Amino acid sequence: MAAAAAVAAAAPAAGTGNVEFIRARSDKREYRRVVLANALEILLISDPDTDKAAACMEVEVGSFSDPEGLEGLAHFLEHMLFYASEKYPGEHEYTKYITEHGGSYNAYTSSETTNFFFDVNVDNFEEALDRFAQFFIKPLMSQDAVLREIKAVDSEHKKNLLSDGWRMYQLQKHLASKDHPYHKFSTGSWETLETKPKVRGLDIRLELLKFYENYSANLMHLVVYGKESLDCIQGLVERMFSDIKNTDQRSFKCPSHPLSEEHLQLLVKALPIEEGDYLRIIWPIIPSIQFYKEGPCRYLSHLIGHEGEGSIFHIIKELGWAMNLMAGESTDSNEYSFFSVSMRLTDAGHEHMEDIVGLIFKYLHLLKEDGVHEWIFNELVAINEMEFHYQDKVHPINYVMHTVSTMRLFPPEEWLVGAALPSKYAPQRINMILDQLSPETVRIFWESKKFEGSTSSAEPWYNTPYSVENVTPSVIQQWIKKAPTEKLHLPKSNIFIPKDLSLKEVHEKVIFPTVLRKSPLSQLWYKPDMLFSTPKVHIIIDFHCPLSSHSPEAVVATELFVELLVDYLNAYAYDAQIAGLFYSIYLTSAGFQVSLGGYNDKMRVLLNAILVQIANFEVKPNRFSALKETSVKDYQNFNFRQPYSQASYYVSLILEDKRWPVAEKLEALSKLESDSFAKFVPHLLSKTFLECYVQGNIEPSEAKSVVEEIENTIFNAPNSLFKSMSPSEYLTKRIVMLENELKCYYQTEGLNQKNENSSVIQYIQVHQDDAILNIKLELFSLIASQPAFNQLRTVEQLGYITSLSMRFDYGVLALQVVIQSTVKDPSYLDGRVDEFFKMFESKIYELSDKDFKRNVKSLIDSKLEKFKNLWEESHFYWGEIEAGTLKFDRVESEVALLRELKKEEFIEYFDQYIKVDAPQRRTLSVQVFGGNHSAEFKKAIAEADPPKMYRVTDIFGFKRSRPLYSSLKGGPGRITMD
């Protein structure tokens, strides 16, 4: 199956040789390498079909370069470069320009690099790129902006303080050599960037400017993706980026591995915030980037992380000890690396931690004894080649981010492929890494609430309680001896690797999905692939089961049914996922959905296995208990979610007619037993209608036969649990209609009072799906989102998480403003949102014709953006079917209306629906008071309602008192194309 990689000749560039890029056979873009006189190395990409242009700059300066005692300075600098430059001195001119022209932007700081990236509508690329270039030429970094952005960095840190992911990562770094940069705290806080520097007499702005001198052109890599020709793009980058200074800085190199002997052979017990036990077994290894053609870690992670029969996971899952397992290399440097095996444990697994570690070492011993197998390596090579050559096109912003990271690490001809195609079979290299996964170098991190009261230390930055014990190789040997004797073995060859990658002929041009087949049991929508010429298919089967959502008990039982299905299928279907066939089964508002995507060749084999599992569902008590236990913990962890996430939940609880509270679902789940669950499943499936969608490299006759097979397996099998459903039983979720000129508000305390953050969501309900109203709301959101962020976050410094965006609930459109803050309570935040809308009135009224037209054009450009791949296209059409709107020509019709839209009509819409005292403004403010604001909460709930305000105290009483929007979705008898 191995195929030679396609090679593309690149045109010669100034100062560079001709580069022949190894690239995917399906890739039609043009590429060129350019090196400017200042040593900035650039990859140019020309894609005449693109609607978005993008760029990404990687600077080889990261948090490892932070000066001693100024933790977080690299991250802080990343924030500061967004503000203003000498050429564009207006604050946030870059972000404003990008947002107003259909784009997005972000940046991140890692250990050794800082990455900045954006995308924008193609017509606005030149101006956006020029603003971007100024980050690296002459940023202003004013004193005023410095202070404000330290607060933003601190707010970001406070958001992370109660996140177990951040806490455990820092704990791993803490237990490392103190003189190694890996040991450092990297994100920064008020303490590290303001308090401590002041005590030392440091001017943080001067330190920032000094640190910025590290940003030298010779340490930068840039990827630029545009619609124009390579010559044209080259002209742009030469003009814009040649002024970046080259001070010939040396890139940071780590002083060896961060772990010395004292940091190995450790068992670390840590106390998490959330419920759930996790085990991570970690070894330091030589970074496999050094042998990327040989791919030793790919081979080992494939076997150690396998989930089929005979694997570590299959055995510990059957024993009821673990819920998942991941294995592989993780690194934030080229100088050192780690191999880890991590899993979520059950309560029984917690009791058997030693057995699990023993079993893992047993498997490593088996790999050594059994030797390296060339057929396994060749199978992986074949899968990797297929993945590479049939890769889906992605958004330019994602493509440039991925590609820039290869420029530093690989020779130019391999920039597009990186480490994706290991091809050199080198068993000695695999054995070398395998030898490093030894008891002598192991570190075991074990998280559990059960360690409460038994820890002896606390990590200084996040205050995570932990204790450390030594685990010698002889102890590990004892664990290996007493580990289970179940038969571990290597996986069999993968039956799901596709053989037939041919493309089906499309006999007639089908622009939109059509109903191809209809019966009392199901309906099939079909669309052939007209755009992507790829041997892939997407199948969605929506099981509409009205008995799935009529009570909290029904919802949690349906949820558990779905989780058990996935659990039962796991060992068999794992090979399918390795071979590029993906499936998911998930809960919906009226039942559950099965979605499959990937190569069409073996799709029906996988689909049949899923259907048989559904049709012959049995309750396995041991798996029921393990999944129920995990689900209970997940529900309990709702208390530890970020306050803005809790606020969003309350908005949904107030608006949706069939939404059950988490507390009621948790209670129902706690009482659910396997025998009552076994009785529920036939009840659930006794009323079912299937809505099916098939799109891709598949002929109409085959699509029909797929659905016939589904019906036969599900409904017509002997002793089938499934029965058809009458149209009157078709249920859809509906949304509460708020009242004109009335502001409803709901105030509650955060469920975890240790979290200092408070949050507000101001939700402005506008209208039900309607083309002309939709475009006016989208236009307002486009115009207002950046000014809202600028005013509420940058100017007023209310909190790191701040946004204004559109919200869509079952066909009802709204605006929502979200703020999470430690500095102010939610009532105050809500008042500031109102003030923003009042202040913004004048901006709407004073909107010039030129600005109005520019914003309209930007929205049109965004709407006309082409689908990048089959999944994007099918998700759009399926979204219309699922919502019941069936506006398959939505884009064309809304664009036609936008072209005719007058500024006066837009202002009239704003006056009618959005401004603070608008006659049809319908507002809900959900306010979650965190630990910092308990006094303000007591005061707020004691206050009387002001005029035109209504306090929601009983959510369900309130819902019962309000009318509902009509559903856009009819029953199965009503769904038609007209």
- Catalytic residues, by residue number, are 78, 149
- Scanning 213-295, the segments in alpha helix (DSSP H) are 230-241
Cβ-contact 244, 136 below 8 angstroms: yes
d(CA 274, CA 167): 11
Terminal-residue alpha carbon distance, the chain:
47
SS3 434: helix
Cβ-contact 136, 114 below 8 angstroms: no
Cβ-contact 784, 804 below 8 angstroms: yes
d(CA 669, CA 628): 7
72 sits in the region (left: phi over 0; alpha: psi -120 to 50; else beta) called: left
The widest CA-to-CA distance across the chain, in whole angstroms, is 82
654 membership: H or E segment, kind and range = helix 643-655
DSSP-derived secondary structure letter, 235: H
Which letter, b or e, does each residue of 172-211 get, where b requires 16 or more Cβ atoms within 10 Å of its Cβ? bbbbbbeebbbebbbbbbeebbbebbeeeeeebeebbeeb
Cβ-contact 847, 100 below 8 angstroms: no
d(CA 287, CA 419): 12
Cβ-contact 392, 868 below 8 angstroms: yes
Q: Which two tokens stand for residue 531?
A: 């755009």
Q: Which two tokens stand for residue 798?
A: 């209310």
Q: Which two tokens stand for residue 621?
A: 């008590």
What's the chain's Rg over C-alpha atoms? 29
Q: Name all contacts of 12-20 with Cβ < 8 Å and 24+ positions apart.
A: 13/44, 13/234, 14/234, 14/238, 19/412, 19/413, 20/413
The number of C-alpha atoms within 13 Å of 275 and in the hemisphere containing its C-beta is 13
Q: How many helices (H) and strands (E) does the chain have?
A: 32, 27
d(CA 312, CA 326): 11
State residue 909 phi and psi, 5-degree precision: -60, -45
DSSP-derived secondary structure letter, 941: H
Task: List the one residue out of 468, 447, 448 whose CA is nearest residue 457.
Answer: 468
Cβ-contact 359, 316 below 8 angstroms: yes
Which residue is it, tokens 């404000």?
A: 148
Cβ-contact 431, 294 below 8 angstroms: no
Q: Where are the beta strands (DSSP E) in 92-152?
A: 104-109, 114-121
SS3 526: strand
The amino acid at residue 252 is: F
Non-local CB neighbours of 836 within 8 Å, separated by 6+ positions: 788, 791, 792, 817
The number of C-alpha atoms within 13 Å of 51 and in the hemisphere containing its C-beta is 17
The amino acid at residue 712 is: N
d(CA 480, CA 356): 9
SS3 52: strand
Sheet order of strands, 326-330 included: 326-330, 337-345, 277-285, 443-447, 266-270, 465-470, 457-458
DSSP-derived secondary structure letter, 85: B
Task: List the one residue out of 180, 179, 181, 199 whose CA is nearest residue 190.
Answer: 199
DSSP-derived secondary structure letter, 193: I
